[in-house]
């Protein structure tokens, strides 16, 4: 008699949210990234949130050693990695214990049952096995003996038993591909490229991947699959890209458009190191990558490269930005173009190296000795890092000034599809006016921009000296004259203030006047826009503005804000933008602050909207 197969329900969804979690040695970031790439190939819009443990070698099975990777994918409305996951893949008890709060009741938990030994459960804080004691009755729990199934699937492998068990992450990935009806071929091709020189490792991981998919296909423990809608994007060439990769790509594109060498001087620091690593892959005669011995050397070498006529940049995170502060002041004094990309992390001091925060805004705007005005910009998403860094480079050259670009660990490590622009679509660079050699003085000014000439070292007829002492506005010689110092201080301030005319008119998402305006900057953009959209669908009238320029602020911002009764500012700090807005516009914005090492999500913002409307 023929066996009847269980009928499988297919649930259609506009957006899906899934989280992979396990020990840092379980390859969670690898399978998470591969799933993200598969969704991109399938035509979904996506947003990811990698969550790394702070300890490099945390004890196996410990709560502090849990690594996570959350991804939201689906139609055009995807702007964040999601507030709550509908599926949690837990490779061990600690992964489930840490992440149970990140999923709603009724969510699906797919656990590696073999890892839930009594010892492992107790290490994670459970007295008994949660897969068996009924404590997870509010969830759809599927226990898969992944260790045993991988060992069986790879029984003829020449790999050692410990190496075979390392393939269980790809077994679980295969299961998830089946549940979401995702293409498995992109991961297969990645494995072929990744392990081309290790055929046994390639074969084992590939076999584990397909074994997981076939297990889900042929067993009857699954009665539900998901069909997720695709985005309706315009035709073009797209790449799934992280914020750090986008920043590195923007530097290369800017140097090519400018026609100058790129110099990137940096000292490795989490979570900015990937910019250095990405650029090092493209090192050439035109792309010079220098790993300095410390943060100060990284900044000073970048200043020297700018004096030599290169498009120069340096990257860091909060503690490194502190160390670079005097050198950035030198770049202000010498009026040389230079980019400082600050990938913010939790602080103070060493703080939370692998967690996100927006707490460097005060340091970026004010953190230098003396009156040292500087341009400060903020990227709002991984793909937007390209647009923001490229525009920062253009402004830095045009106005002969250092520019700080604020990113964050959330943006830098997260990924989303990026439409690769054509060279002709990128804005042209405008070089400062260069007079004839006999008329040249180092600090002569362009009347419109107040920028000085970019006379680089070795350019015949334009020889000059630079340094950190105050200069005469006429000759460029050292000057201690009180009136001259006042004059030069005023000029440096007015030059930065004048950059406001480069800022496009402020765009408001929603009505131009009303009861509540949400003002955001940087990484809170996705959460704010998602919450505002949901609030409008519920009949709540609310609008939003996201700022790319923090210093100078847009010239029309005050007028835009004045048309709303209340202004709400959500920040992943204790209210730094709120302080700037209060001091400049003499208004009292409502603060919503979260300093937990995790990004503000749309549920947080929606709750704040309802409380203040």
pLDDT bucket at 236, cuts 50 / 70 / 90: confident
Q: pLDDT at residue 230 above 90?
A: no
Instruction: Determine the Cα–Cα distance for residues 487 and 179; give it in Å rounded to an integer.
Output: 68
Q: What is residue 5's predicted lDDT score, i.e. its pLDDT?
A: 58
Q: pLDDT at residue 157 above 90?
A: yes
Segments of the chain assigned to CATH 3.40.50.920: 514-612
pLDDT bucket at 11, cuts 50 / 70 / 90: confident
Instruction: Determine the Cα–Cα distance for residues 385 and 275; give it in Å rounded to an integer.
Output: 11
DSSP 503-547: SPPPP-BS-SSEEEEEEEEGGGHHHHHHHHHHHHHTT---EEEEE
* 2 CB burial (10 A radius; 0-12, 13-18, 19+): exposed
pLDDT bucket at 75, cuts 50 / 70 / 90: very high
Instruction: Determine the Cα–Cα distance for residues 409 and 49; give it in Å rounded to an integer.
Output: 9
Please give the residue that has the higher pLDDT: either 222 or 274: 274
| Strand-pair partners of 590 | 568
Q: Is 580 helix (H, G, I), strand (E, B) or coil?
A: helix
E strand or H helix at 279 = helix 273-280
Q: Is 269 helix (H, G, I), strand (E, B) or coil?
A: coil
Architecture of domain 239-425: 3-Layer(aba) Sandwich (3.40)
Residue among 75, 419, 383 at smallest CA distance from 234: 419
Q: Is 341 helix (H, G, I), strand (E, B) or coil?
A: strand
Residue among 473, 585, 415 at smallest CA distance from 32: 415
E strand or H helix at 274 = helix 273-280
Q: What is residue 4's predicted lDDT score, i.e. its pLDDT?
A: 55
Q: Is 564 helix (H, G, I), strand (E, B) or coil?
A: strand
Segments of the chain assigned to CATH 3.40.920.10: 9-228
Instruction: Determine the Cα–Cα distance for residues 272 and 411; give it in Å rounded to an integer.
Output: 11
DSSP 428-497: PP-PPP---GGG--TT---TTT-PPP---TT-TT------SS-B-TTT--B---HHHHHHHHHHHHHHHH
Q: pLDDT at residue 3 above 90?
A: no
Instruction: Determine the Cα–Cα distance for residues 356 and 288; give it in Å rounded to an integer.
Output: 29
Q: pLDDT at residue 1 above 50?
A: no
pLDDT digit string (tens) for 332-351?
999 999 999 999 999 999 99
Please give the residue that has the higher pLDDT: either 96 or 55: 96
Residue among 532, 426, 391, 468 at smallest CA distance from 79: 532
Place of tokens 């099975």: 61
Residue among 437, 588, 604 at smallest CA distance from 530: 604
Helix axes 168-179, 199-218, angle to 10 degrees: 40
- The answer, yes or no, to whether the previous bond of 271 is cis (omega within 30 of 0) is yes
Starting at the edge strand that comes first in sequence, how are the strands of the sheet with 311-316 ordered? 287-291, 262-266, 311-316, 338-344, 402-408, 375-378, 549-551
Among 75-84, 231-240, 283-292, 516-525, the minimum mean pLDDT is found in 231-240
Q: Which residues contact 411 (CB under 8 A, 6 or more apart)?
A: 243, 343, 356, 379, 380, 381, 382, 385, 522, 523
Q: Which residues contact 185 (CB under 8 A, 6 or more apart)?
A: none
- Superfamily of segment(s) 9-228: Pyruvate-ferredoxin oxidoreductase, PFOR, domain III (3.40.920.10)
DSSP 141-153: EEEE-HHHHHHHH
Domain 514-612 CATH assignment equals 3.50.50.60: no
Q: pLDDT at residue 233 above 80?
A: no
pLDDT digit string (tens) for 79-128?
999 999 999 999 999 999 999 998 989 999 999 999 999 999 999 999 99
| % of the chain beyond a pLDDT of 90 | 90
Spatial contact of 169 and 28, defined as CB atoms under 8 Å apart: yes
Spatial contact of 516 and 612, defined as CB atoms under 8 Å apart: yes
Spatial contact of 401 and 337, defined as CB atoms under 8 Å apart: yes
Look at the pTM and tell me if it is higher than 0.75.
Answer: yes
Q: Is 416 helix (H, G, I), strand (E, B) or coil?
A: strand
Q: Which residues contact 219 (CB under 8 A, 6 or more apart)?
A: none
Q: What is residue 406's predicted lDDT score, i.e. its pLDDT?
A: 98
For residue 190, give both structure tokens.
Answer: 């990645």
Q: Which residues contact 603 (CB under 8 A, 6 or more apart)?
A: 83, 84, 531
| Strand-pair partners of 249 | none
Please provide the average confidence, as pLDDT, over all residues in the chain.
95
pLDDT digit string (tens) for 361-420?
999 999 999 999 999 999 999 999 999 999 999 999 999 999 999 999 999 999 999 999
pLDDT digit string (tens) for 537-584?
999 999 999 999 999 999 999 999 999 999 999 999 999 999 999 999
Place of tokens 């502190």: 322
Q: What is residue 422's predicted lDDT score, i.e. its pLDDT?
A: 93
E strand or H helix at 275 = helix 273-280
pLDDT digit string (tens) for 433-449?
999 999 999 999 999 99
């Amino acid at each position: 008699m023929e066996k009847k197969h269980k009928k499988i329900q297919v649930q259609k969804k506009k957006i899906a949210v899934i989280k992979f979690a396990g020990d840092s040695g379980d390859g969670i970031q690898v399978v998470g990234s591969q799933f993200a790439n598969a969704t991109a190939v399938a035509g979904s819009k996506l947003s990811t949130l990698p969550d790394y443990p702070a300890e490099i070698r945390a004890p196996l099975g410990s709560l502090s050693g849990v690594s996570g990777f959350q991804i939201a994918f689906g139609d055009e409305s995807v702007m964040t990695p999601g507030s709550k996951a509908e599926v949690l893949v837990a490779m061990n008890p600690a992964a489930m214990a840490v992440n149970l709060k990140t999923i709603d009741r009724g969510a699906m938990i797919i656990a590696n049952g073999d890892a839930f030994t009594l010892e492992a459960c107790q290490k994670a804080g459970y007295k008994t096995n949660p897969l068996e004691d009924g404590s997870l009755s509010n969830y759809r729990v599927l226990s898969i003996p992944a260790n045993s199934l991988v060992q069986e699937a790879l029984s003829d492998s020449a790999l050692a038993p410990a190496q075979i068990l390392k393939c269980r992450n790809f077994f679980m990935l295969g299961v998830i591909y089946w549940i979401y009806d995702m293409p498995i071929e992109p991961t297969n091709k990645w494995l072929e490229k990744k392990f081309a020189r290790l055929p046994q490792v390639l074969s084992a991981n590939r076999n584990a991947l397909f074994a997981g998919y076939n297990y889900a296909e042929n067993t009857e423990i699954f009665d539900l699959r998901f069909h997720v809608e695709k985005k309706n994007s315009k035709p073009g060439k797209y790449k799934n890209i992280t914020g750090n990769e986008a920043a590195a790509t923007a530097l290369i594109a800017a140097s090519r458009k400018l026609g100058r060498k790129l110099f990137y001087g940096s000292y490795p620091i989490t979570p900015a190191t990937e910019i250095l690593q990405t650029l090092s892959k493209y090192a050439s005669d035109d792309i010079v990558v220098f790993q300095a011995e410390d943060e100060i050397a990284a900044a000073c070498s970048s200043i020297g490269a700018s004096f030599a006529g290169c498009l120069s940049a340096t990257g860091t995170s909060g503690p490194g930005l502190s160390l670079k502060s005097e050198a950035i002041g030198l770049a202000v004094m010498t009026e040389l173009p230079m980019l400082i990309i600050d990938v913010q992390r939790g602080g103070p001091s060493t703080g939370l190296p692998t967690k996100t925060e927006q707490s460097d805004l005060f340091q970026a705007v004010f953190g230098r000795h003396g009156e040292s005005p500087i341009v400060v910009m903020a990227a709002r998403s991984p793909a937007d890092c390209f647009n923001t860094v490229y525009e920062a480079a253009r402004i830095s050259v045009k106005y002969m000034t250092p520019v700080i670009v604020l990113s964050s660990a959330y943006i830098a490590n997260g990924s989303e599809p990026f439409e690769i622009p054509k060279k002709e679509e990128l804005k042209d660079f405008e070089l400062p006016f260069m007079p004839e050699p006999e008329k040249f003085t180092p600090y002569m000014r362009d009347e419109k921009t107040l920028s000085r000439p970019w006379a680089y070292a070795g350019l015949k007829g334009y020889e000059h000296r630079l340094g950190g002492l105050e200069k005469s506005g006429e000759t460029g010689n050292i000057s201690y004259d009180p009136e001259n110092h006042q004059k030069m201080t005023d000029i440096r301030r007015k030059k930065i203030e004048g950059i406001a005319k480069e800022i496009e008119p402020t765009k408001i998402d929603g009505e131009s006047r009303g009861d509540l305006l949400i003002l955001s900057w940087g990484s809170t953009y996705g959460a704010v826009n998602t919450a505002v959209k949901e609030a409008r669908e519920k009949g709540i009238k609310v609008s939003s503005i996201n700022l790319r320029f923090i210093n100078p602020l847009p010239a029309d911002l005050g007028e835009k804000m004045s048309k709303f009764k209340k202004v709400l500012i959500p920040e992943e700090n204790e209210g730094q933008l709120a302080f700037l807005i209060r001091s400049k516009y003499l208004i009292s914005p409502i603060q919503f602050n979260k300093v937990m090492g995790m990004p503000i999500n749309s549920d947080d913002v929606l709750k704040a909207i309802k409380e203040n409307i």
